[in-house]
């Protein structure tokens, strides 16, 4: 029997930046949404906008996914409400600029909890039902940072390397079973990420122009819908990602630090 349900997409980190732009793209294609972020008021504003403009159903969940119990809480709540998630977008994440030894431990562990543990937990919870239905899509948002070591943002770069490796492996495991896993790797993008991370004055953002967030989100969305395993937004970012695979690691690391350093 053909399933005529309207597709529902769950997007984390949906109150701004890439997550917000992805939500608009899903809504434009008449998909219902479950939006998750820490800020309830921001989420409600986004929901009102999307419902008014596109006429889709938008459920908001104000939740801090860096809390260890949050992914299970979210999964259980949606289950009680009978919501079936067809597309999972693990977009929530953050970084912090500075030498590892100087950054508070809670900041480093917080990045690991949100960027790695919560993403892994949510993928585990929602992938099972997708496999049972024989349909579904997962997007894990990584970064071109994941292709090389990142002095001055060591933990963030390492977490994104995990997301790339994890996602590519999962994509192989589910191949041919009706479910796709896409790893989306934006480069520097014009969002509020750099303000929270403290990288707004780095060479990367001051001298090397970041990409427009709408363009980046569109690249990721199209790649997800095509079932591509790895999506790198922008040809310059693709060239960088490919070049670091063959360049000497010491040189790659030195260049990575130079790009991250702050400039006047």
What is the tens place of the pLDDT at every residue in 165-179? Answer: 999 999 999 999 999
Q: What is the pLDDT of residue 187?
A: 86
Q: How confident is residue 201, by pLDDT bands cut at 50, 70 and 90?
A: low
Q: How confident is residue 131, by pLDDT bands cut at 50, 70 and 90?
A: very high
Q: What is the mean pLDDT of residues 115-123?
A: 98
Q: What is the pLDDT of residue 92?
A: 96
Is 156 an active-site residue?
yes
Active-site annotation holder among 20, 94, 156, 162: 156
End-to-end CA distance of the chain: 63
Q: What is the pLDDT of residue 1?
A: 32
Residue 254 has pLDDT above 60, yes or no: yes
Residues 13 and 91 sit within 8 Å (Cβ to Cβ) = yes
Q: What radius of gyration, in Å, describes the C-alpha atoms of the chain?
A: 18
pTM for this model (two decimals)? 0.91
Q: Tell me the CB-side half-sphere exposure of residue 246, using CA atoms within 13 A.
A: 4
Q: What is the mean pLDDT of residues 127-154?
A: 95
| Other CB atoms within 10 Å distance of the CB of residue 76 | 11
């Amino acid at each position: 029997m053909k399933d005529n349900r309207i597709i529902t997409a769950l997007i984390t980190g949906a109150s701004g930046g890439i997550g917000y732009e992805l939500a608009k793209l899903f809504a434009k294609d008449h998909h219902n949404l479950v939006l998750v972020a820490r800020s309830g008021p921001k989420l409600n504003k986004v929901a009102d906008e999307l419902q008014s403009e596109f006429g889709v159903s938008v459920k908001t969940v104000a939740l801090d996914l860096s809390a260890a119990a949050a992914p299970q809480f979210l999964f259980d709540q949606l289950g009680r409400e009978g919501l079936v998630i067809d597309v999972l977008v693990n977009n929530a994440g953050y970084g912090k600029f500075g030498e590892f030894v100087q950054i508070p431990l809670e900041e480093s562990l917080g990045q690991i909890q949100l960027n790695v543990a919560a993403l892994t937990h949510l993928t585990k919870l929602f992938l099972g039902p997708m496999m049972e239905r024989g349909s579904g899509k997962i997007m894990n948002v990584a970064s071109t940072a994941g292709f090389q070591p990142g002095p001055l943002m060591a933990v963030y770069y390492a977490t994104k390397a995990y997301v790339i490796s994890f996602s590519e492996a999962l994509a192989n495991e589910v191949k041919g079973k009706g479910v796709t896993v896409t790893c989306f790797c934006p480069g520097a993008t014009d969002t509020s990420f750099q303000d929270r991370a403290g990288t707004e004055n780095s060479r990367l953002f001051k001298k090397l122009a970041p990409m427009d967030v709408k363009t980046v989100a569109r690249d990721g969305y199209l790649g997800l819908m095509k079932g591509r395993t790895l999506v790198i937004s922008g040809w310059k970012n693709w060239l960088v990602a490919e070049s670091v695979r063959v360049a000497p690691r010491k040189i790659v690391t030195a260049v990575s630090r130079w790009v991250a350093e702050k400039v006047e």
